[in-house]
Structure 1
Amino acid sequence: MDEIVKAAIAKWPNVPHCYGWLGLDARGNWYLRDDNAQAAGAFCNPLKGVDPVQKLASKGSLLEHEKLISFIQRNYECEDAGSLKGQWFFQNGPQRVYVELEATPFIWRIGSAPDFEVSSHTGQTVRAQRCVVDEHGRLYLETELGFGLVHSLDMLNAADALESGLWVPQDLLTRDLPQRFGYVRSPQALQSA
């Protein structure tokens, strides 16, 4: 966490948390979700039965400002205790902005053979500890940093890693992943419940 953020927390310790305003999609892109986007529906709408125009509207605005994205990614963390455990957030100065996840807290990029280097959407290099495949054929990795989905553009490299025996996938259902790996896809939905 940035030192300036730590100083802001110390100076203003009681700033209310923010829910629903920031989303991370299945490709590691950040979205700002204003009132209109939130009114259009949940960020992580299931694909089945959702109008594509509504789904796009509910995502919000794609963040493209590199310095803002870098700031978010440096200050992206997970609640590790209490009733908020497993909820990911961006610490924006004194305010904690909880993140809506389309898929998982991390999106992994996979390098080519022979190293198959794994890095997160936040730019950190990690080591895969466990490999999971769901009923839709999506590939996930658990690392020392956390749990995440392999980016769809890197599936060829991931397939090569699997064929080489580097990773042995375990079959799990998508609906079981958040509880099994300790993350919350929609902190906003928990607040509404």
Structure 2
Amino acid sequence: MDESVQAALRKWPDVPAAYGWLALDRRGSWLLEGRPLRHARTITFINRNYLADADGAWLFQNGPQKVYVALAYTPWVLHRHPDRAPGTEGALVTHVGAAVERVDSAWVDEEGNLLLETPNGIGLLDDRDLVAYGAAFCDPQGQPLADTALESALAALMEGERPALGLRDGERILPVQPIRCAEVPMRFGFIQDPAPEAP
């Protein structure tokens, strides 16, 4: 968090929070009242001051004011690093531009989305990167899969089954597990659409 933001918090600790203004879409873009933000300096400022509160609601700390974020899906959106091979160290970055150290678990939901748990928390892989990142899928021994075997395994995951499918993360092979979209917020401890407490 920026030092100027911390100073504003100390000076004005009781500024009311804002809800319903800021959202994060499934591709990692910020939306202000439903419209994409385009101003680079504003986006950079939001990215630097994006965090979760103790209840798992994500927010942008705008000076002394908390601006709560409505999440289209997960609190993090992951993108493939253009200069790194899928499944290698540094192959992913978050929507705020931070490198992902490692992947701790991998999940596929009923819509075919790839969710990756990282030290930052759970993130959705941008759908535009899914085909290219597919090279990180493998069998449990780390061997590449034929396209038909991969398609079959992904279809089984979407049905809630547990096929023998792995995801390479550096030297490790992670089992890919099924999950339902509706289960994701509770399992990973975040609030998708924060709202003010009723008076």
Aligned partner of 1:78 in structure 2 is: 52
Secondary structure of the residue aligned to 1:99 is strand
Unaligned runs of 5+ in 2: 139-143, 145-166, 169-173
Aligned partner of 2:97 in structure 1 is: 123
Q: Which amino acid aligns with 1:19?
A: Y
Q: Which amino acid aligns with 1:175?
A: A
CA-CA distance at 1:158 after TM superposition:
2.1
Q: Which amino acid aligns with 1:118?
A: L
**Is 2:139 the partner of 1:139?**
no
For residues 85 and 29 of structure 2, the distance between their equivalents in structure 1, rounded to whole angstroms, comes to 25
CA-CA distance at 1:156 after TM superposition:
1.6
Q: Provide closer, same or farther for how the CA distance between residues 5 and 14 of structure 1 changes in structure 2, counting only shifts above 3 A.
A: same
Q: Is the 8 A contact 1:113 1:157 kept in 2?
A: no
Aligned partner of 1:55 in structure 2 is: none
For residues 179 and 16 of structure 2, the distance between their equivalents in structure 1, rounded to whole angstroms, comes to 36
Aligned partner of 2:75 in structure 1 is: 105
CA-CA distance at 1:76 after TM superposition:
0.1
For residues 11 and 125 of structure 2, the distance between their equivalents in structure 1, rounded to whole angstroms, comes to 39
Q: Which amino acid aligns with 1:76?
A: Y
Aligned partner of 1:45 in structure 2 is: none
Q: Which has the higher helix share?
A: 1
State the TM-score, normalized to the length of structure 1: 0.79
Aligned partner of 1:39 in structure 2 is: none
Q: Higher Cα Rg: structure 1 or 2?
A: 2
Aligned partner of 1:156 in structure 2 is: 131
Structural mapping, 1:165-180, within 5 Å: 165-166=167-168, 167-180=174-187
Unaligned runs of 5+ in 1: 34-59
For residues 22 and 183 of structure 2, the distance between their equivalents in structure 1, rounded to whole angstroms, comes to 24
CA-CA distance at 1:157 after TM superposition:
2.5
CA-CA distance at 1:183 after TM superposition:
0.8
For residues 180 and 35 of structure 2, the distance between their equivalents in structure 1, rounded to whole angstroms, comes to 30
Aligned partner of 2:22 in structure 1 is: 22
**Greater than 6 Å deviation, 4+ residue runs:** none
For residues 12 and 96 of structure 1, the distance between their equivalents in structure 2, rounded to whole angstroms, comes to 12
Aligned length: 162
For residues 120 and 156 of structure 1, the distance between their equivalents in structure 2, rounded to whole angstroms, comes to 18
Secondary structure of the residue aligned to 2:93 is strand
Q: Which deviations, in whole Å up to 9, do the C-alpha atoms of 1:79-135 show, x marking residues without a partner? A: 12xxxx110000000000000000110000123526261110000111111101001
Aligned partner of 2:190 in structure 1 is: 183
State the TM-score, normalized to the length of structure 2: 0.77
Q: Which amino acid aligns with 1:15?
A: V
